[in-house]
Every structure is written in C-alpha cells, then in structure tokens.
Amino acid sequence: MESATSAQLEPVRELAGDKATRIVEAMRTSVATRGIAGSTFDQVARAAGVSRGLLHYYFGTKERLLVEVVRRECDVRIEQLELQIASATSAEDVVAALVESFDEFLREPPAEVAIFYELMTLAQRTEDIASELAELGRRTRSHLAQALRRADEAGMLELGADPDVVATFLFALADGVAVRRLSEPELDIGPTSELVVAAGRAVLT
C-alpha cells in the first residue's frame, strides 16, 4: 500500500548499481513533472525498466523511495561541497565553493527543487517522513558544520558564530531564496542572491 498517512517506513534494502540509479532518477523525474500524488510505482517501474515488485521489495512504499531520492541528492551535494572546502587554501576559496553550490541549487529547474518541499508538506501529516527528513537535515547540516570547523581551525576562516549555527544560517538563506523562486518564477532573483552571498560572507570572514 502506498498511503502517505498510514504506511510505516521499513528500512531500505541495499540496491546498488545501475538499477538503483535508474529507479531513483525515474522517481525524481516523475515527481518533477507529475508531483507526488501523480507519481506511482507503476509509472516509475516502467520508466526505470524494472518490475513493480522490485520497487516494493527494495523500498516498500512510495514515501520511502521519495526519501531516498532526497537523501541521495543531499549526499552528492554535501560530498562535493566538502571536497571543495577541503581543497581550499583561503577564505575566498571557501566562500567561492559555497557560492558555487548555492548557484547550482538555484539553476536547477523549479520543479526539481520542489521535490524536497513537497516532501516537507507530506511530513506535516506523516510522522515517519518527518522523522526521516529531520535526520537528513541534521546529518547534512553536521557535515557542512564539520567542514567549516576544519577550515576555521586551519585559519582560513574567522567564523562569526558556532559552526553548526553558521551552517544552519547558510541553509536557511538558500531555502528562503528557493521558496521565493518557486512562488514567483518570473522574479529576477539575481539582486537577492547577491545580498544572500554578502550575508553568508559576513558570517564566514
């Protein structure tokens, strides 16, 4: 059953390689074009070239697959950002890495950015989804905070607050701009993005 209100999320079974990638990408594309309600295991299975039974076996519910889509995307983003910060040699390098990550996030099609926010809405009425997203948020924020702490200890940054608080602030800035972009697609977000970068720079240097 794929109910968002009653399904208990079972642990995801390990599914590595090409099939996993195809399934996650198929769900990501489906939600971006049809929304959560319009995305079904039947459609995703056809798009991924696998059986519906395989999706049920590995993910159990649509909600669990949606969480996996967000998790994998966050993992890729934070890994790239950590590598960029680790290779930085100055505060400007760290700022440039964060700005690049921010710009990449904003360049994505609005429908793709909306996946995460659709899950947040779903989390308001589904305790398991809320718990999953909260843990994902904590883990992502912790990774960025640790990277910032290492840069601070290396003397590249002079953080204006605790690294965890700074990481939370930076994510809040990005989230705010993303929501505004979703609500007003025709808005020129450039000037606002410049202010966001300036605010981020202020707490990093």
Residue 101 lies in a domain: yes
pLDDT interval class at 16 (50, 70, 90): low
pLDDT digits (tens, 9 = 90+) for 79-105: 888 888 888 888 888 888 888 888 877
**Using 50, 70 and 90 to split pLDDT, how confident is the model at 45?**
very high
Average the pLDDT over 51-64 and give the result: 86
Mean pLDDT, rounded, for 41-63: 89
- pLDDT for the residue numbered 17: 67
Of all residues in the chain, the percent with pLDDT exceeding 90 is 16
Does 7 fall in a domain?
Answer: no
Position 34 in a domain: yes
3-state helix, strand, coil in the chain (%, to 5): 75, 0, 25
* C-alpha dist (Å) from residue 53 to 8, 46, 49, 56, 57: 18, 12, 12, 5, 6
Residue 41: the pLDDT is 92
Q: Are residues 196 and 104 in the same domain?
A: yes
Answer yes or no: is 5 within a domain: no
Distance (Å, rounded) from C-alpha 44 to C-alpha 55?
9
Q: Which residue has the higher pLDDT, 89 or 17?
A: 89
Least confident of 4-8, 30-34, 46-50, 194-198: 4-8
Taking alpha carbons only, the member of 197, 141, 198 closest to residue 171 is 141
Look over the chain and give the mean of its residue pLDDT values, rounded to a whole number: 82
Per-residue model confidence (pLDDT) at position 62: 84
Q: Do 45 and 85 reside in the same domain of the chain? A: no
Q: For residue 4, is it within any domain?
A: no
Cα 78 from Cα 193, distance rounded (Å)? 20
Over residues 40-69, the mean pLDDT reads: 88
Judge if 34 and 97 occupy the same domain. Answer: no
